[in-house]
Structure 1
Amino acid sequence: MKKLIAVLAPLSLALTACVATNTTTGTTSTTAQSTTQQLGTAAIKIAINAKCTTELNNIAAWQNATKLMTATQKQNIQTEICGCVSDKAPQSVTAVDLATAAIDPAARNTIVSNAVTKTINACVAEAVN
């Protein structure tokens, strides 16, 4: 019973936000939608940043490129790259993905992984240039 409530509560909140957005007009619906999107995007950005760091450290080219760098240099570039990924990756995540990620940890991991994979190479290229 507790598991059912834990699953249905976030889903009902997400659906309520959608219903409220579609049935009301004015700033209230815009504010609710913006807040929901901001919270979802913030959560995804945090997960994306963590995944980016892991993925970046697993790339052989990154490991070779950073061998001669100081820890500070490596950290600064990693922060720049993963900041870029955190900014760009959510653009490839749909509202449906955000809702799914809110209730399904396995889906969240897949969504985050796909978003990082789509953007990490472009951000590495930007950081190098």
Structure 2
Amino acid sequence: MPTDTRIADRIEIGDLVARFALLLDEKRWEDASTVFAEDVTVHSPRGGELRGIDKVVDFMRRSEVEGEHTQHTTTDLLVDVGGDQATASANSTVYFYRDGQAPHFTGGLRQHFTVARTPGGWRLREVRITPAWSRDSTRSET
């Protein structure tokens, strides 16, 4: 694979991971197909194993808490492209907050992705989310 193609793929996959975080923050579930492959599998502590874009979107909709927002900050992205498949990993800090208030819950995550080139572009085929730490400011620390 030419270097220019590999670099372009890495940039597109980086953008895909950023779009995934933004989709979650903006709750744009109707745009899920711009991020996920139809046969996506998501592994997370809260949702268990979800197979298929419809189940993933349904879970995200049901997980919404009225008045609560999130801000995902993703860093340390590593991408390894191999033809029409790729793997990626990143760290993410997620802030849960209400309008005008400081975050009431913050969590650090490690994310692992399997990515596939589709006719519509790169899409997440598998997502594994592993919590690293959390801080709940609504609980008093002793």
TM-score (norm 2): 0.33
Greater radius of gyration (CA)? 1
More helix per residue: 1
TM-score (norm 1): 0.35
